[in-house]
Structure 1
Amino acid sequence: MSQTNPETTPLHTLNPLTRFSDRAADYVNYRPSYPAAAIDIILEGLAPPTQLLAADIGAGTGISSRLLGKKGVSVIAVEPNAAMREASEPHPLVEYRDGTAEVTNLADASVDLVTSFQAFHWFNPEPTLWEFWRILKPSGRLAVVWNHRDREDTFTAEYTRIVRAASNVERVDERMKFVDPLLVSPHFVNLREYIFVYRQELDLTGLIGRSMSYSSVPRSGPMQQQLVAGLRDLYQLFANEDGFVYIVHSTSVHILSAIES
């Protein structure tokens, strides 16, 4: 099977605008959320949430957008994939719009906060960060968030091994190198990083569905069958008396301030 190595291939060149089109339903049902503390730290020190307008870029089916909306923030959820937008759950404070990270179609200095949850690695970093700076108000805030699977947790490590074996990329959970553009951007300063723990509770259907939400995992064929068989065996070994297993995440939140023009 042909493999692509994200160590050498920029992910923004791997058709990120449409590659999740057939994963929208699995995204809605099985992708993990984010810890409440992560949302709180993003908003800490800003104006009251009801006075904020945020742009959530690469919003997917709106998991993070709705979390911000539940805090009272008005959110423009920018997502280029029509299937993902159509699968999103409505929220009165969330407006879904077509757009990319590089071309959001938002006005200059129009938002107080830009967020990107589990998506920044799919963006072309240089034009993206310029676009984020352009749409932010002076001294606006950028928050980039990832859920990293915890390799120290036995179940999570074995789950990761099984998914990688069936994946058409060599690494499916390597994100930290994508922080580098944040460190060298001429548009943002004062990088702060926070780490939180998040446990996703899943039954067997959820465990398989979570895996099928990855764009790198085949949806049919021998490798998909191998994946499902491996996950069934893993579930039988680790499920508790209530029928649940837990994928443990280390949620990293990177917060930066926009440089005033």
Structure 2
Amino acid sequence: MLRIRGKNKQGKDGSGELSESELMARIDMTGLPRHIAIIMDGNGRWARARGMPRTFGHRYGMDSLREAVRTSAELGIKVLTVYAFSTENWKRPPEEVNVLMGLLVEYVHKEIDELCANNVVVRAIGDISRLPDSAREALRYAFERSRNNTGMVLNIALNYGGRSELVRAARQIAEKVRDGRVQLEGIDERLVGDHLYTAGQPDPDLLIRPAGDYRVSNFLLWQMAYAEFWFCPTYWPDFRRRHLLQAIYDFQQRDRRFGGIKEGGK
């Protein structure tokens, strides 16, 4: 259930819930988060609660992804990053991993026309070299089809881990120092950022995690330094447009100081 905290924010029915149209009316279109990151969690639990195999949850979660991408593109969000497969997910049963890779291929081929129609640029973050040939081929197809688009960037995090990303960046910088291309004194936050998968993109303003867990799960560890976190108990397959709008609305109610203070010392 979506609830708005605070006074005088009830919906028209007095329940505390706001409809999609009410949320759209209240969202400040000039103050949207530039970059939204989503941990698509709860697929397996959603399926088990319905007496179905975990893989059914992943399939139903594709509808939620489609809606999140469509809504974000419509709103004009600059970057949307979704956590699809982590470096730790290889520990799952091979059958589940195979299904996830198959769903990636299916998603690309089913959605690429609409993604391109919405001017979305498809990218992947993570070490995709370990993915099956079929998945890497589908990704290459999506990259090529969308490379001339100029709208929202959709980052699909695949075989991604925040710690491994930082190790990769450290190694690349160390090689440059060894070869004399970078001086030790030249290593700063900007240089590190330039060696991350998200180089050139704004850091996430908003992290959304459904399904009731309160952790970042090795996701965008460097980039999340000043992200606002938004959690909800809804499992990912049930996550819909109104949840995303609610997250954006709540984000806009927060006081972002980035370690400083506002005028008046508050």
Normalising to structure 2: TM-score of the pair?
Answer: 0.24
Greater relative contact order, per chain length (Cα 8 Å cut-off, separation 6+): 2
Q: Which has the higher helix share?
A: 2
Normalising to structure 1: TM-score of the pair?
Answer: 0.25
Q: Which has the higher strand share?
A: 1
Larger Rg: 2
